[in-house]
Amino acid sequence: MQIQPDDLHSDFEVVLQNREPQTRSTWLMRQAGERLGIPDDELQALIAPEQVKIFRIPCRILGKVVNLNGCIGLHNSARGPYKGGIRLAPDVNIWETTELSRLMTLKCAACDVEFGGGKTGIRLDMAEMYKLFDIKPRDLAFEKTVSIAVIERYAQLFSDLFSSHQYIPAPDMGTGPDEMAMIYGETWDPASVTGKGDGVPGWLPGRKESTGIGCSYMTRRVLTEVVGVDLEKATVAIQGFGNVGRPLAVDLAEHGVKITGIIDIFGGTYNADGLNIDDLMDHFADTATVKDFAGGEAIDNDSLFRLGVDCLIPAAAGDVINEKVASEIQAKAVVEAANMPTTIEGMEVLTERGIAVGPDILANAGGVIASMMEYSASLSATKPDKSEVYEVVQRKIGDNFDRANERAREEGIGLTAATVETAVERVRQVMKDRRML
C-alpha cells in the first residue's frame, strides 16, 4: 500500500512505506497539543523523528561472521545532544526504537535536562546465537563475548556520532558498563558515552543507583502529597528487583515505607507486616531472585497487582498494566518506574477509576539526570560524590513534580498529562528559538 503524507504523518513513514502504529507518547503528545492549541504542522514536527539510521553490523564472533540489523532513532535535538540507551534484544524494531527515542525527548524535557532524545535498537537473539555456535545455555561468558563484539563494531561504525557529541549513548536492555567501556575505548572521549563502569574515565559515583533513588523520592512525594498517607504507615508493592527495583526498595525501606510484596521474573514474595529488605538483599545475593525468600510467602504477578497497597510500582517491563490489569488494581496510586508500563487503554481505565499515576518520564528520570552529571563531569574532569548526585536527582525530580502537581490542579488533568504538556512546551519553545519551527 502506498501511503500518502497527511496532516500528522511524516515523509519518513512514506519512505518506509509503513505507518507508525499509534504509540503511547504520540497519543499523549497529540492530546497535549490539542489542549495547548498547537497547530498540526508544529505538532507533526514535535512528534516525528529528525533522523532514523538503519544499519547492518557484520560481526566476527568466534571465527564466524554474524550479520545483525539495527537502527538509531535520533528523535529531537532541540534541547541538546540526542541521548538514549543501546538495546540489544531479539524483538527490537524501527518503530519501538523511534518511540523510545521520543520518550527520551519527553523525559529530558520533563526533568529539564539539556539533552534531546535518541535510542539504539540492535536485533540480537541470544537463543539463536547459542544454536549457531552450538553452545549450551546459559553461558554468561559466551553472552558477554557476543555483546562486546557487537558493540565494538557498532562503536567503530558510529564513533563520529559519539565523538562529536551529537548522540551520547548509555546502557539499556542487554548492555551495561562493559559495553559502554568499548565505546570509550573507540572514542577516547569520556564525554562520548554515559553509564560507564567504576574506574573507566569519566565514571560517576551513584550513577548505577540513581534511577532507583529518584523513583523512591518520587514515590514518597506521591504517597504523602497525592495519596495523603504518612510514610511510616504507607504500603508499597514492586514488580522487578533489578537495577531500578533494588535501590528503590532499599531506599524506600530506609525511609520507613513498608514494602509488602516484590516479584521478579522467577517468582515473588509477600509479607503483610513488611518485607525485611536487608534480609531480602542477602537472599538475592545468594540466589539472584526474590523467589523462595524465607521472610515471606510466595505470590504471583496477578496477586501482586491486586494487593490493596497505597502504591504499586511496576519496575520491570513495558505494557504490564493493560485495560484488564488496570481494572483490577487495588492500589491508590501507581508510580511508573519502568518505561511505559501502562498501555493507552490501561491509562484510560486508571484515569476513570481515579487512580493517580506518577509518570515514567519523571519517576525514572534519575538515570538521565545522573547521565547529565556524568557528561558534565567528563567534560570538566571533575567528579561529584554520590550525595551530590542524589541531591541533584531529587531536586530536579522534585521541582518538576511540583510543577506537574500545580498544573494538574489548575487544569483539572492528571499528573501524566500535566508533565507531558510541560515537556512539549519546553521542546517547542527551543525549536522556535532555534528557528527549527
Minimum CB–partner distance for residue 214 and ligand NAD (Å): 9
Nearer to ligand NAD, 155 or 237 (CB): 237
Which residue of 226, 316, 373, 424 would you call a contact of ligand NAD, by CB under 6 A?
Answer: 316
Please tell me the distance from the alpha carbon of residue 173 to that of residue 13, in angstroms, as a whole number: 26
Nearer to ligand NAD, 77 or 342 (CB): 342
Site string for ligand NAD, 251-270 (x = CB under 6 A): ------------xxx-----
Site string for ligand NAD, 211-240 (x = CB under 6 A): x---------------------------xx
Instruction: Tell me the DSSP string of 285-340.
Output: HHHSSSTT-TTSEEE-HHHHHT---SEEEE-S-SS-B-HHHHHH---SEEE--SSS
Under 8 Å between Cβ of 157 and 167 = no
Q: Does 89 interact with ligand NAD (rule: CB under 6 A)?
A: no
Number of residues that bind ligand NAD (CB under 6 A): 21
Q: What does residue 72 show for φ and ψ, rounded to 5 degrees?
A: -115, 120
Which residue of 33, 84, 245, 346 would you call a contact of ligand NAD, by CB under 6 A?
Answer: 245
Please tell me the distance from the alpha carbon of residue 166 to that of residue 295, in angstroms, as a whole number: 49
The residue from 53, 64, 83, 119 that is catalytic is: 119
**Which residue type is seen at 88?**
L
Minimum CB–partner distance for residue 231 and ligand NAD (Å): 23
Other CB atoms within 10 Å distance of the CB of residue 200: 17
Minimum CB–partner distance for residue 149 and ligand NAD (Å): 21
Which residue of 44, 51, 69, 243 would you call a contact of ligand NAD, by CB under 6 A?
Answer: 243
Please tell me the number of Cα atoms within 13 Å of 286 on its side-chain side.
9
Q: Does 317 interact with ligand NAD (rule: CB under 6 A)?
A: yes
Which residue of 95, 115, 162, 241 would you call a contact of ligand NAD, by CB under 6 A?
Answer: 241
| Peptide bond before residue 60 is cis, with ω within 30 degrees of 0 | no
Question: Is 119 among the residues known to form the active site?
Answer: yes
Minimum CB–partner distance for residue 56 and ligand NAD (Å): 25
Nearer to ligand NAD, 46 or 337 (CB): 337
Per CB under 6 A, the segment of 185-193, 241-249, 253-261, 275-283 that binds ligand NAD is 241-249
Nearer to ligand NAD, 153 or 246 (CB): 246
Angstrom CA distances, 5 to 25, 31, 53, 119, 366, stand at: 20, 21, 20, 25, 37
All cell numbers assigned to 202: 569519566
Which residue of 101, 192, 339, 419 would you call a contact of ligand NAD, by CB under 6 A?
Answer: 339
Please tell me the distance from the alpha carbon of residue 286 to that of residue 288, in angstroms, as a whole number: 6
Q: Does 242 interact with ligand NAD (rule: CB under 6 A)?
A: yes
Of residues 357-396, those binding ligand NAD (CB under 6 A): 364, 367
Angstrom CA distances, 81 to 123, 167, 308, 376, 390, stand at: 24, 6, 43, 13, 23
Of all residues in the shown chain, the one whose CB is closest to ligand NAD is 242
Per CB under 6 A, the segment of 21-29, 125-133, 315-323, 391-399 that binds ligand NAD is 315-323
All cell numbers assigned to 157: 561504525
Q: Does 342 interact with ligand NAD (rule: CB under 6 A)?
A: no
Please tell me the distance from the alpha carbon of residue 263 to that of residue 274, in angstroms, as a whole number: 14
Q: Is 372 helix (H, G, I), strand (E, B) or coil?
A: helix
Q: Does 303 interact with ligand NAD (rule: CB under 6 A)?
A: no
Under 8 Å between Cβ of 17 and 3 = yes
Which residue of 46, 244, 335, 427 would you call a contact of ligand NAD, by CB under 6 A?
Answer: 244
Minimum CB–partner distance for residue 82 and ligand NAD (Å): 16
Residue 141 burial (C-beta neighbours within 10 Å; 0-12, 13-18, 19+): exposed
Minimum CB–partner distance for residue 339 and ligand NAD (Å): 4
Find the DSSP H helices in 111-139. Answer: 126-132
Residues within the interface to ligand NAD (CB under 6 A):
211, 239-245, 263-265, 301, 315-318, 337-339, 364, 367
